[in-house]
Amino acid sequence: MLATNYPQMNFSQMHERLRLELLRRIQRGTLSVSLLARQTGFGQAHLSNFLHSRRQLSLEAMDRILAAQRLTVADLLPALPQNALWREDESAGEVPVVSHNTALFEPVIRPSAVQMMLHLPPGALQTVRARATNLRRAWQRFVAVRVAAADALPMEPLVLPEALVLLDRHYNSMLPYRPSRPNLYAIRHGAHLTVRYAEFQASRLILRPHNIAFPVELIALDPEESPGDWLAGRVALILNEI
């Protein structure tokens, strides 16, 4: 269940939230100042001044940016506290289906980011065990993503083309969920999400396919990074036919 009862927000607060959201998108590599300039018709210097808090935008300019980035005012509103919100969602068994980018980078799922709702039996998620870093515990916990045909091939027949996989974003630990079985994760690979078995050895994430016809892949981690930074979450459920 998504939050709908938001506190009030004035123009200055909305202006600042838009600025921070655009900066987040630029930092993730999904947006650039030059791309935003092409989308809106504004000069790069004008946008740069806004992003660095050197000038404000008019309401008309904000509308143009919102439209270009497919944002609504509701997307900029602060969300309700996650603890109160997510207990209700776990009980209801409703999980938002979102894009790979949203699953990887968005702590709170905005209403406009929801593609559809996945309905599970009530209480189905309440016994799922979490193992999250402190920062990740603040994220909305369960989301689902669709796996495209090309991405599913290395995991066939476990994951079939267009399958929905349910992710527990509160499990970004490398410890096994079940002692005798490897964890299946959704992992950030470049700017994309990929589903693989994963191990961590010698400062590298080792991504293993289910289909042995495909190669093992390696991701080298920087010294300040942890494996959990690369894990969107543990795959808790695979739905190959909807």
Is the domain of 231 the same as that of 217?
Answer: yes
**Predicted local distance difference test score (pLDDT) of residue 163:** 93
More confident site: 98 or 72: 98
As a whole number, the mean pLDDT across the chain is 83
**Predicted local distance difference test score (pLDDT) of residue 109:** 86
| Structure confidence at residue 210 as a pLDDT band (50, 70, 90) | very high
Is the domain of 192 the same as that of 158?
Answer: yes
Domain of 55? 11-76
- pTM of the full structure: 0.67
- Nearest 10 degrees: Cα torsion 17, 19, 23, 26: 120
Count of domains forming the chain = 2
Query: Is the confidence at residue 80, as pLDDT, over 70?
Result: no
Query: Is the confidence at residue 221, as pLDDT, over 60?
Result: yes
More confident site: 14 or 149: 149
Does 181 map to a domain?
Answer: yes
Query: In angstroms, rounded to a whole number, what is the distance separating the alpha carbons of residues 78 and 3?
Result: 10
> 29: domain CATH number?
1.10.260.40
Is the domain of 200 the same as that of 234?
Answer: yes
Does 6 map to a domain?
Answer: no
Is the domain of 45 the same as that of 130?
Answer: no
Is the domain of 67 the same as that of 156?
Answer: no
| Closest C-alpha among 116, 78, 113 to residue 95 | 116
Does 141 map to a domain?
Answer: yes
Is the domain of 97 the same as that of 22?
Answer: no
pLDDT tens across 168-209, in order? 999 988 888 998 889 999 998 876 789 999 999 888 889 999
208-222 residues labelled b (16+ CB within 10 A) or e (exposed): bbbeeeeeebebeee
Is the domain of 116 the same as that of 207?
Answer: yes
Is the domain of 127 the same as that of 42?
Answer: no
CA 82 from centre of chain: 16
**Predicted local distance difference test score (pLDDT) of residue 11:** 73
Query: In angstroms, rounded to a whole number, what is the distance separating the alpha carbons of residues 79 and 81?
Result: 6
Does 1 map to a domain?
Answer: no
* Average pLDDT estimate for 163-172: 94
